[in-house]
Amino acid sequence: MVTEDMMEGGTAPMTDEEIRSFLTEQGVGVLAVAADGVPYVVPMSFGYDGDETLYFLFLLFGEESRKQTLCDRADRARLLAYSAESMHDWRSVTTTGSIEDVPEDDWSELRTAMENAWHPDLFTAASPMRGVEGYRLRVDDWTGIRHGA
């Protein structure tokens, strides 16, 4: 199916304002970074500052975190956020930009942005954490499409 066919079937591009609103309300997506020629993808909670930056908190378990190592190595990343209420009512936004760790003295911005993040409860029974690191994706490109409402 080509883009033109999708548009005729009720699929439409999202405006920048619709994308901003969606990222603000969504709070969870799939983060992708390069990993030896194969994308490494991981579901992630994220916060959005309402402008051009997504924030993440990496909960670090064990001796090494693959996502932390790969994000430290990568200069670019992509996040896909989507919502599928039904096959006739869905939205998706893809963001691309530079990814970097957030120094502790910049965490006030991270904390504010993370207010809309989805906070899973699955880590309460996990092995002890060795720390928490903040990361940000500075968005330089995004696209959004929707179908239905």
CATH number at residue 80: 2.30.110.10
Exposed / middle / buried, residue 93 (Cβ in 10 Å: 0-12, 13-18, 19+): buried
In the predicted model, what is the mean pLDDT of residues 67-91?
A: 90
The residue with tokens 């591009």 is 13
Looking at residue 125, its pLDDT comes to: 52
Residues 6+ apart with CB under 8 A from 24: 48, 50, 116
If one counts the domains in the chain, the total is: 1
Range of the domain at 63: 3-147
| Chain segment 34-77, per-residue pLDDT in tens | 888 889 999 999 999 999 999 998 876 667 778 787 888 898 99
> Distance between CA 30 and CA 19 in Å, rounded?
16
Cα distance between residue 50 and residue 36, in whole Å: 33
More confident residue, 27 or 71: 27
- Kindly state the tokens that stand for 1: 């199916």
**Nearest alpha carbon to residue 117 among 16, 14, 33, 31:** 31
Q: 3-class DSSP state for residue 107?
A: helix
